[in-house]
Structure 1
């Protein structure tokens, strides 16, 4: 979590999007973002928060991909620091 944005990665979550992604929630709005390029796949998050999410994905790209591999295989991913830490 950073700047009020909650980032989630769900175990074995490959049915709908089939590619590495995260779910970002801010004040009830939820966006699903591709880890590879930060593109919004579904949903909506306010533009200012979206910029923060995309920057965070870019900074933590390798860590997110490693966590994705753990999560889709039913293992617990590691926590990744937010932008405000």
Structure 2
């Protein structure tokens, strides 16, 4: 599972050939959440409120890049790194 970004202790990852809808995983400590790239809605899981706010801010800025990485992973190709949240 490639890590495509990392910031404030949060890892952003995607699985190769994962199930629809297009989504990414955010992992913070022992918590994990799956977020729909198109809507930025939580599919499953939860993060602490502050970590979730950082993830959603970052995802809103990089939605097009996330979709491109999803397409690459769906084709079993390596995704591109995405700039972290500053």
TM-score, normalised relative to structure 1: 0.92
| Among 63, 67, 75, the residue aligned to 1:73 | 75
TM-score, normalised relative to structure 2: 0.91
Q: How many residues align?
A: 81
Q: What is the CA-CA distance between 1:38 and the residue it aligns to?
A: 1.2
Question: Larger strand proportion, structure 1 or 2?
Answer: 2
Segments of 5+ residues of structure 1 without an aligned counterpart are none
Question: Deviation above 4 Å: which 4+ runs of structure 1?
Answer: none
Partner of 1:53: 55
Partner of 1:32: 34
CA-atom RMSD in angstroms = 0.7
Segments of 5+ residues of structure 2 without an aligned counterpart are 1-5
| Partner deviation per Cα, 1:24-81 (whole Å, 9 max, x = no partner) | 0001100000111211110110011101111111100000001100001100000001
